[in-house]
Chain A
Amino acid sequence: MATAAAHRTAGTPADGAPDTVDTTAYQHAFDAAVAADERVEPRDWMPDAYRATLVRQIAQHAHSEIIGMQPEANWITRAPTLRRKAILMAKVQDEAGHGLYLYSAAETLGTSRDELLDKLHSGRQKYSSIFNYPTLTWADVGAIGWLVDGAAITNQVPLCRCSYGPYARAMVRICKEESFHQRQGYELLLALSNGTAEQRAMAQDAVNRWWWPSLMMFGPPDDESQHSAQSMAWKIKRHSNDELRQRFVDICVPQAESLGLTLPDPDLRWNEERGHYDFGAIDWTEFWEVLKGNGPCNEQRITQRRRAHDEGAWVREAAAAYASKHTRTTTDTADTGTPGDTGNTAETGANRA
């Protein structure tokens, strides 16, 4: 992922000020690069709207990873075995890492992580609707792994070929890790499904509650998706929301059968003609309500995030104060002589490596 230095010389001013020079030639070069499936890199010229839509999408993706830690972390202290607990902790750590990769990718577009977090905390940027649902039982951890991470993978694998290089590269790393999160969730549900009657019922109940919200993760239907057409033209998105949703349903049905669990949709059946599973209507009223902030946990999720940020302020200040004191001390030492003694960080690193 590129550097802060790049931002200063990028073709379009990072602050979004209008270009004063004629951009026609740049626009042609950009269009040609996108048409040829080349990657757009941070220092390349790009249309302001392309930059803005990427900042929005990548930032909200990053926010989703960070908020997404909450529903699962809810069960860390109550995980039923040490093995399951260790797995869950590793998974939540991975999600923090995914958030960091994505914030870095967003920053190559000339925004800052602090700015994006500020927008999350003030509700000006969203995160995935799925994380506004509560984790009521241990089986929910499995349902999230299998269905929510499964939907995420279906969504994200095509993003590995997204036209914006830093985003595509972040997605490659993330997809690798998400795929074993999904296995972990599947394995958890399988253990419950093969367990006692109570465990089996708990697994089925979790799948019943997470199935429809998982289908909503693919976003509104194609005819109501305001960014889709442009994002597809720019090759940010490669497939429409409905295409990906269908792909996900087709993948899940046989997996549910192998788990010995059912999916809560009476209209779900194989359509020989289409070669796909037909499925029932999604409750879009619920989707828009959750997006507007009226889901079961919206308030709780954002309050917890804000509190962590506010209550951590003094720790961040302490770290910054320590860093500035430390930097001053080493500079002083370097000024007073002893060449080669302290050296610069890179050199020390190189020697040690």
Chain B
Amino acid sequence: MSTTDWPLWEVFVRSRRGLSHTHAGSLHAPDAQLALRNARDLYTRRGEGVSIWVVPASVITASSPDEKDPFFEPAADKAYRHPTFYEIPDGVKHL
């Protein structure tokens, strides 16, 4: 095996009309500059985007699928966070 394992980078691309960067995939590169260049060649070969972020995969922390239910549960019982929770009498305008 090679002695020079290059780190993994996650690639995010913002498309020409896109409002935000979207995860496009990942790649290996020795440093950020080469990761950026390779991401350009690999993920924007056909005009897919106008902006690229590369992030070392090692700095990303993800939520755990095992704790998915308890982790997201607090959102479920707070109906007042949704605009539809509030009853407004008919005929009230601009609200």
Q: Which residues of A contact B (CB under 8 A)?
A: 1-6, 9, 11, 41, 43-45, 93-94, 97, 100-101, 104, 107, 112-115, 117-118, 170, 173, 309, 313, 316-317, 319-320, 322-323, 326-327, 345-346, 349-350, 352-353
Contact = CB atoms under 8 A, between A and B. Distances in A.
A322 B45 CA distance: 27
B90 interface: no
A322 B8 CA distance: 17
B2 to A, nearest CB: 5
**Among B21, B34, B59, residue most surrounded by chain A Cβ atoms (within 10 Å):** B59
Nearest to B3: A317
Interface string B1-18: 111111010100010000
Given A3-B60, A4-B8, A349-B53, A316 B2 contact: yes
A117 B6 CA distance: 13
A113 B7 CA distance: 11
23 contacts: A1-B25, A3-B26, A4-B8, A4-B57, A5-B57, A5-B59, A11-B65, A104-B25, A104-B26, A104-B27, A113-B28, A114-B5, A117-B2, A170-B25, A313-B4, A316-B4, A316-B6, A316-B30, A323-B34, A345-B54, A349-B52, A349-B53, A353-B14
Q: Is the interface of A mostly helix, strand, loop or mixed?
A: helix
A112 B25 contact: no
Contacts of B1: 114-115, 118
Interface string B26-65: 1110111010000001100100000111110111111011
Nearest to A7: B57
Contacts of B31: 319, 322-323, 326-327
A3 B57 CA distance: 5
Nearest to A118: B1
Contacts of A170: 25
B66 interface: yes
Contacts of A118: 1-2
B62 A2 contact: yes
A119 to B, nearest CB: 10
Contact of A350 (B42, B53, B61, B66): B53
Given A107-B8, A112-B5, A317-B3, A4 B30 contact: no
A323 to B, nearest CB: 4
Contacts of B64: 9, 43
A1 B26 contact: yes
Given A43-B64, A323-B31, A100 B58 contact: no
Contacts of B2: 114, 117-118, 309, 313, 316
Contacts of A45: 65-66
Closest 9 CB pairs of A and B: A323-B31, A323-B30, A320-B4, A4-B57, A319-B30, A353-B51, A3-B57, A104-B26, A349-B53
A127 B4 CA distance: 24
Contacts of A4: 8, 57-58
A327 B61 CA distance: 22
B42 A100 contact: yes
Contacts of A117: 2
B53 A5 contact: no
Contacts of B32: 345
A170 B27 CA distance: 13
A317 B41 CA distance: 22
